[in-house]
Structure 1
Amino acid sequence: MMLQNCVQTPLGIVEVEVVGSGIPVMVLHGSPGGIDGARAMSQFLDRDRSCCIHLSRPGYLNTPLDPTAPSIDAEADLLAALLDTLDFARVGVLAWSGGGPPAYRLAARHPSRVSAMVIVAAISSSWVAAKMHLSERFVFGTRFGEHLISFLATHKPEHIVEEALKGEGTIRGEELRNVTNHVLAHPAQVKLIVDTARTLNIGGKRKPGWHNDVKNYADIKSLELECVTCPVLLVHGDADSDALPVYTYYAHARLPNSELIMMAGGTHPSFYAHQEAEIVQERAKQWFEHYSQEGRKNAVK
Structure 2
Amino acid sequence: MTSPTPWTMTLQGATVGGMECGDRSGYPVLAFHGAPGSHVEAVAFAHAPAAEAGLRLIAIDRPGMGLSTMSPRRQILDFADTVTIVADRLELDRFAVLGASGGGPYALACAYRLPNRVSRAVVVSSPAPFDGQARSVSEGGVKCAGGLIVLRRFPFLARPAAARMAAAVRKPRGLAALIARMSPADRDRLAGDEELLGKIADNIHTALRQGSRGVATDLQVLFARPWGFELSDIVASTVVWQGDCDGNVPAADGRRLAADIPNSELIIVEGAGHLLFVDHAAAILDSIRDG
TM-score normalised according to structure 1 size: 0.74
| Residues 1:237 and 2:243 aligned together | yes
Corresponding position of 1:157? none
1: CA distance, partners of 2:260 / 2:13: 30
CA deviations on 1:176-225 (whole Å, 9 max, x unpaired) are 75x567x85xxxxx644531233235754152221112221211266411
Equivalent residue in structure 2 for 1:91, among 87, 95, 105: 95
Corresponding position of 1:197? 201
Corresponding position of 1:285? 285
Measured on the aligned residues, the alpha-carbon RMSD in Å equals 3.2
1: CA distance, partners of 2:261 / 2:93: 23
> SS state of the match for residue 266, structure 1?
coil
| Structure 2 letter corresponding to 1:212 | T
2: CA distance, partners of 1:222 / 1:136: 23
Moved more, 69-78 or 218-227: 218-227
User: Aligned pairs, how many?
Assistant: 261
Corresponding position of 2:64? 59
TM-score normalised according to structure 2 size: 0.76
| Residues 1:24 and 2:38 aligned together | no
2: CA distance, partners of 1:149 / 1:223: 40
| Structure 1 letter corresponding to 2:284 | A
| Structure 2 letter corresponding to 1:106 | C
Instruction: From the superposition, tell whether residues 8 and 137 of structure 1 become closer, same or farther in structure 2 (CA, over 3 Å).
Output: closer
Corresponding position of 1:257? 263
| Structure 2 letter corresponding to 1:246 | A
Q: After the TM superposition, which residues 2-151 of structure 1 pair with which residues of structure 2 at under 5 Å, given as runs?
A: 3-9=5-11, 12-19=14-21, 20-21=23-24, 22-43=26-47, 45-47=49-51, 49-67=54-72, 69-126=73-130, 127-129=149-151, 140-142=165-167, 145-146=169-170, 148=172
Q: CA deviation at 1:230?
A: 1.3
Instruction: From the superposition, tell whether residues 7 and 32 of structure 1 become closer, same or farther in structure 2 (CA, over 3 Å).
Output: same
Corresponding position of 2:182? 168
1:124/1:250 contact within 8 Å kept: yes
> SS state of the match for residue 239, structure 1?
coil
2: CA distance, partners of 1:120 / 1:272: 11
1: CA distance, partners of 2:195 / 2:270: 22
1: CA distance, partners of 2:95 / 2:211: 26
Equivalent residue in structure 2 for 1:269, among 255, 272, 275: 275
2: CA distance, partners of 1:99 / 1:244: 16
> SS state of the match for residue 271, structure 1?
helix
Note the residue ranges of structure 1 that are not aligned, 5 or more in a row: 153-159, 185-189, 292-301
Instruction: From the superposition, tell whether residues 46 and 271 of structure 1 become closer, same or farther in structure 2 (CA, over 3 Å).
Output: closer
| Structure 2 letter corresponding to 1:110 | L
2:40/2:203 contact within 8 Å kept: yes
Q: Which has the larger radius of gyration?
A: 1
| Fraction of identical pairs, as percent | 23
2: CA distance, partners of 1:251 / 1:11: 35
Q: CA deviation at 1:232?
A: 1.3
Instruction: From the superposition, tell whether residues 141 and 11 of structure 1 become closer, same or farther in structure 2 (CA, over 3 Å).
Output: closer
2: CA distance, partners of 1:16 / 1:27: 10
| Structure 2 letter corresponding to 1:107 | A
Instruction: From the superposition, tell whether residues 6 and 225 of structure 1 become closer, same or farther in structure 2 (CA, over 3 Å).
Output: same
Note the residue ranges of structure 2 that are not aligned, 5 or more in a row: 131-148
Corresponding position of 2:213? 208
1:149/1:197 contact within 8 Å kept: no
